[in-house]
Amino acid sequence: MYDYVIVGGGIIGLSTAWQLQQRNPDSSILVLEKESAVARHQTGRNSGVIHAGIYYAPGSLKARFCKEGAAATLEFCRDNGISYEQCGKLIVATNEIEHERMLELYERALENELDVELLTAAELRNREPNIVGTAAIFLKSTGITDYPAICKTMARKLSEMGGETRLDCEVTDIVETPDKITVELADGSQIESKFLVACGGLMADRLALMQGIDISFQVIPYRGEYYRLPAEMNNIVSHLIYPVPDPELPFLGIHLTRMIDGSVTVGPNALQGWKREGYGRVNISLSDISSMVRFSGFWHALRGNYKSGFQELWNSCWKPGYLKQVQKYCPSISHADLSPHETGLRATAVLKDGTLVQDFLFEQTARSLHVCSAPSPAATSAIPISRHICDRILGAQ
Ligand X SMILES: Cc1cc2nc3c(=O)[nH]c(=O)nc-3n(C[C@H](O)[C@H](O)[C@H](O)COP(=O)(O)OP(=O)(O)OC[C@H]3O[C@@H](n4cnc5c(N)ncnc54)[C@H](O)[C@@H]3O)c2cc1C
Among residues 376, 383, 386, 393, the one that binds ligand X under rule CB under 6 A: 376
Near ligand X by CB under 6 A: residue from 268, 297, 354, 384: 268
Residue among 235, 248, 252 at smallest CA distance from 305: 248
Whether residue 390 contacts residue 20, with contact meaning beta carbons closer than 8 Å, is answered with yes
Binding-residue pattern over the window 210 to 229 for ligand X, x denoting contact by CB under 6 A: --------------x-----
Which lies closer to ligand X via its Cβ, residue 129 or residue 212? 212
* 9 in contact with ligand X (CB under 6 A): yes
Query: Which alpha helices (H) appear in the chain, and where do they start and end?
Result: 11-23, 61-80, 96-111, 121-127, 147-160, 204-210, 286-293, 296-304, 306-317, 319-327, 378-396
Closest to ligand X by CB, 32 vs 229, is: 32
Q: What burial class does residue 97 get, using C-beta atoms within 10 Å of its C-beta: 0-12 exposed, 13-18 middle, 19+ buried?
A: exposed
C-alpha 345/C-alpha 235 separation (Å) is 28
Name the residue nearer to ligand X (CB basis): 33 or 98.
33
Total residues interacting with ligand X, rule: CB under 6 A: 41
E strands in 199-246: 217-228, 240-243
Task: Quote the least distance from Cβ 121 to ligand X, whole Å.
Answer: 27
Q: CA angle 9-51-225, nearest 5°?
A: 65
Among 380, 383, 386, 393, binds ligand X (CB under 6 A): 380
Looking only at the bridges linking them, the beta strands covering 89-93 and 240-243 are parallel
The binding track of 315-334 with respect to ligand X, each residue x by CB under 6 A or -, is: --------------------
Task: Rule CB under 6 A: say whether 275 interacts with ligand X.
Answer: no
Region of 4-12, 83-91, 100-108, 316-324 interacting with ligand X (CB under 6 A):
4-12
Could you tell me the smallest distance in angstroms from the CB atom of residue 3 to ligand X? 19
**Residue placing its CB nearer to ligand X in the complex, 41 or 67:** 41
Give min distance, CB of 267 to ligand X, in A: 8
Task: Give the shortest CB-134-to-ligand X separation in angstroms.
Answer: 26
Question: Within 10 Å of residue 228's Cβ, how many Cβ atoms?
Answer: 18
Q: Does 42 interact with ligand X (rule: CB under 6 A)?
A: yes
Buried b / exposed e over 138-169, threshold 16 CB at 10 Å, is bbebbbbbbbbbbbbbbbebbbeeebebeeeb
- The binding site for ligand X (CB under 6 A) comprises 7-13, 32-35, 40-43, 45-49, 51, 170-171, 199-203, 207, 224, 268, 344-346, 374-380
